[in-house]
Each structure stands twice: as C-alpha cells, then as structure tokens.
C-alpha cells in the first residue's frame, strides 16, 4: 500500500516535496510492504490553515450535528473493522486476534464514548447569575504512536470532534496504513472540509513544526517521555495547551491474600499484551518474598503457553516487536538484566526457536529483581517482566512508587477494602483492582513523567474545551 498523499482540506494532497517517501516494513517478515510520504513544514502550514478556516463554523455547530458525524464515523469503523485489523497487524505486528479483539474494538469504543458524552454534557452551567461556558479550544495538533495506532487516534480525534475543535493529525510514520484507512472513513462519513486533516511524516519534520505552529491552539501527544518533552519545549513559546500521555513502568502488586493461581497468569498476560508494547503494561510484578518461588513457577508456565509467531495466523498470542530499533533495545535490556544479576526464569536473548526472520522476542521473565536495577526502572517496551519481592505491604507501596513514572498500576487482593487502601497510596493516574473490565469512560493519564492531562470519556473531551465565565448572564 502506498500512502503517498496527505489528507488536507477534504482532499488527498501530494506532499510539498516530491520524491520524499519512507518504506513501511512488515515486522514479521522484515519486508517492505509499502511507502509513506514524508511531510514537511509547508504541509503542516497548509493543514493548519485549512483547520483554522474551518474552525469558526464547526466550533458553533449544533451538538446534534457533531453527534451525527461521530455516529457516521462509528458505523463506518464497524463496517470496515476487519480491514482495519488486517492493516494494524501487517504494519506493526500485533497478533490478528488482538487486533480483532482489542486494537479495533477499543478504537471504536472511544468514538462511542464521545457520542455518549455529548448526549449528556452541559456546555453552559449556571453558577448564581454567572454562566460557566465550555467552548472548543481551537485548532488541535494530534500526535499519535505506532503501538495502538487506531486506538490512540480515536482517543484524540473523537473527543476533539465532540468538543467542536478542528484537527491536524500526525500519525506515526511506522503505522501509516491504518491511519490512511481512518482518514478515508473520516472523508466518507461526511466530515466538513478542514475539520480533519492528516499529515504523514516524522517527528522532526512534521511533529516539531506542528507543535511550534502559532495557529495551533493545543497539542496532544501520546509517545515516549523524551518525545513529550521535545513537543512541550516546541510548544512553549506560543503558550498553547499541551497534553501528554507518555511512558510508564506500571506495578502489579500481588498482596499476600490474592488468588495466585488466578492472578499470576492474568498478570503475565497483561504485561505481555501487544508484545509488551503498551505504555501502561504492568511489567513490574511485586510479590511477597515468601511466595516468590510459587510465582516464578506460575509465571513461567503462563509464558510458556503463549504462542509466538506469525501475527496473521490464528492461535498466535505474541507477534514481533515493531521495528529493528525496538528489537535491539529489548535485546540490550535483557543483557542488562543478566549483567545486573537478575535471575532469568524463562526467555532470554535472541529470537524464539524457528523464527529466524522478523523482530520476534522470547517472552522473558526475570526474578529477584531489585527496584534500583535498570530493568525495574526503564521502560523496555517488549515482553519482559520483572518479579520484585517485597517484605510487607509498606514496602510494596514504596517499591510501586519508586519510579519516575506514574501512568498505571494493578492491585490484587481478596480483600476489596485493603485493595482500595493500597490504591489510594499509589501515585498513578489509573489503578486496576483485581483485573477489571476495560472502561472507555475511565480517565486515563499519568502522574510525574508519565504526562499531563487526561483522556477517555468526559475527561478526554474537557481537555479540548476552554472555560469562559460570563458574569450577569442570568437574571438576579
């Protein structure tokens, strides 16, 4: 597939600099499967101008019209779900079962959640004689990653549309196929020209000028903490709003009264979902020291049951990691874990047996990990799990918070009140107790270096709104 054009002003548009294309690589085969055009500042300027021109009318459009547009987008996503799933698995290596069960349905859920929020949201609220009015913030630059490509796009686009904002989207250049399909859905849904624009390209060539652009009112980025810092620095001179969903090193605290036979396999599955390429993956499993040997056996058994292989084949649980750079990073971190003295329970360096091609990684579990080890502090973004022993509940909380990140956390306990008490002490934006169902309306975002702002549901839409107070709006 050739993604050789941007989507700007309701039209497919060639890049301002011809002949500047990047290969799209299938991580399972290491073969080129397409090309994506590389945009530049001129393309960003054009897209922002179109979004700026469309904003005055779209920002005051009736709520019912915006809900109807989102409804059309929702219907087309459901209709084209298999095409989207195939694209995601091909471009970034997610197992097709995961793409069908999570990558696409969760992306669709963000659109549905935005419609539900619009159905009840009060854009004008009375406070005595004062009106508190919520208004669209303006032109929004949205920068999304490759690991959950559709899911992250809709987590930003849907609430921005609901709020009445206009958009310039920069998807990851490593997952452009699903982004192009989404742009076609936006077009076919009848999105007014200029309301949604897409510019392909790299962070330095497209993301940086988008973040710095004086006519962009807000930047929302999901990516690494390093990328988030660069975007915030570029945005600072124009004092635009910046929301960031960045890195994580999430703990999974197994309290001593948990059902270990149940929660250990679930914890391994959660850590390794999407081949560990999730910012909120619970890759630090905190275990009572007296139960560590039991957890090692249960975790190794769970990892051994995961089929690694062709992501397009039914039954595959773990496909490849997405890029050669990511493969090299994971291999380097496994070597660091061994050098630091962690105990290797399963997996290790190299590809799984029989998989000589593709960026496949052996599901790896380390035990006897100390909190000051690099593998316990740094985001690996691969199928590597650390088992960290603790002496008591107090130490478990201390270890859980002993990181620069604060995106997610998990707690397992048979005593709900005890789990709630521990949850209240965890410095993270989202905490899961006993592996609950995913909630598209639950606020998602980080403390500390995991970012600023929140996404999902009403919390996500309000990031795209300004607050205006009009005194004397109501009679005495």
Residue from 7, 21, 1 nearest 199 by CA: 7
Cα torsion angle, 253, 271, 264, 288, sign: negative
User: Which is catalytic among the residues 245, 296, 379, 455?
Assistant: 245
C-alpha 269/C-alpha 302 separation (Å) is 8
Query: 3 an active-site residue?
Result: no
Radius of gyration of the chain (CA): 23
Cα torsion angle, 56, 59, 65, 68, sign: positive
What strand order describes the sheet that includes 31-37? 2-3, 31-37, 21-26
C-alpha 455/C-alpha 246 separation (Å) is 12
C-alpha 87/C-alpha 83 separation (Å) is 6
User: Which is catalytic among the residues 3, 165, 279, 346?
Assistant: 279
- What's the maximum distance between 2 C-alpha atoms anywhere in the chain? 78
Residue from 409, 392, 391 nearest 400 by CA: 409
| Collapsed DSSP state (helix, strand, coil) of residue 220 | strand
Query: 279 an active-site residue?
Result: yes
**In b/e form, how buried is each residue of 267-278, taking b as 16+ CB within 10 angstroms?**
bbebbbbbbbbb
Query: From its phi and psi, is residue 10 left (phi > 0), alpha (psi between -120 and 50) or beta?
Result: left
CB 345 within 8 A of CB 296: yes
How many angstroms from the chain centroid is the CA of residue 329?
19
Instruction: Identify the DSSP state of 365.
Output: E
Give the residue numbers annotated as catalytic, written as ranges.
245, 279
């Amino acid at each position: 597939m050739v993604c050789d054009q941007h989507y700007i002003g309701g039209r497919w548009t060639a890049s301002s600099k011809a002949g500047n294309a990047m290969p799209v690589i299938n991580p399972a085969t290491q073969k080129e499967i397409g090309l994506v055009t590389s945009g530049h500042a001129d393309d960003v300027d054009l897209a922002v101008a179109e979004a700026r021109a469309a904003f005055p009318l779209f920002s005051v459009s009736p709520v019912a019209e915006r809900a109807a547009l989102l409804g059309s987008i929702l219907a087309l996503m459901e209709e084209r779900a298999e095409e989207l799933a195939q694209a995601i698995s091909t471009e970034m290596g997610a197992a097709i079962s995961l793409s069908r069960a999570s990558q696409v349905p969760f992306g669709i859920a963000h659109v549905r959640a935005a419609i539900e929020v619009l159905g009840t949201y009060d854009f004008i609220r009375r406070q005595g004689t004062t009106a508190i009015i919520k208004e669209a913030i303006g032109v929004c630059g949205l920068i999304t990653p490759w690991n959950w490509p559709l899911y992250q796009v809709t987590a930003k686009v849907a609430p921005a549309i609901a709020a009445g904002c206009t958009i310039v989207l920069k998807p990851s250049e490593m997952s452009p196929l699903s982004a192009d399909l989404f742009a076609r859905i936006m077009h076919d849904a009848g999105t007014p020209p200029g309301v949604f624009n897409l510019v392909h390209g790299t962070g330095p060539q497209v993301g940086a000028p988008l973040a710095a652009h004086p006519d962009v009112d807000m930047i929302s980025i999901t990516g690494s903490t390093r990328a988030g810092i660069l975007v915030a620095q570029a945005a600072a001179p124009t004092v635009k709003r910046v929301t960031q969903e960045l890195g994580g090193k999430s703990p999974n605290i197994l309290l001593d009264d948990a059902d270990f036979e149940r929660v250990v396999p679930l914890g391994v599955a959660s850590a390794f979902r999407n081949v560990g390429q999730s910012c909120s993956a619970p890759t630090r499993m905190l275990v009572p020291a007296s139960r560590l040997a039991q957890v090692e056996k249960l975790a190794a058994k769970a990892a051994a049951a995961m089929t690694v292989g062709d992501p397009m084949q039914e039954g595959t649980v773990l496909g490849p990691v997405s890029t050669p750079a990511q493969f090299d990073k994971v291999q380097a971190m496994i070597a660091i874990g061994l050098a630091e003295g962690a105990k290797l329970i399963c997996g290790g360096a190299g590809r799984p047996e029989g998989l000589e091609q593709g960026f496949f990684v052996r599901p790896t579990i380390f035990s006897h990990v100390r909190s000051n080890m690099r593998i316990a502090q740094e985001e690996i973004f691969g199928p590597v799990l650390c088992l960290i022993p603790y002496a008591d509940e107090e130490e478990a909380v201390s270890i859980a918070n002993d990181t620069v990140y604060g995106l997610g956390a998990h707690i397992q306990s048979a005593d709900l009140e005890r789990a709630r008490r521990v949850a209240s002490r965890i410095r993270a934006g989202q905490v899961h107790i006993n592996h609950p169902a995913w909630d598209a309306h639950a606020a998602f975002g980080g403390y500390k270096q995991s970012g600023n702002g929140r996404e999902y549901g009403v919390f996500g839409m309000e990031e795209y709104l300004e607050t205006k107070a009009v005194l004397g709006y109501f009679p005495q």
